[in-house]
Amino acid sequence: MNKKKKSVNKKHRKTKLRLKSLRVVSLKKKKKVVKASKPPVEKIAEETKPKTTAKKTTAKKTTAKKTLAKKKTATKKTPAKKTPAKK
6 pLDDT tier (thresholds 50, 70, 90): very high
Quote the pLDDT of residue 72. Answer: 64
Comparing 6-10, 21-25, 64-68, which segment has the lowest mean pLDDT?
64-68
Q: Which residue has the higher pLDDT, 15 or 73?
A: 15
Q: Which residue has the higher pLDDT, 39 or 11?
A: 11
pTM over 0.75: no
Sign of the four-CA dihedral 11, 17, 22, 23: positive
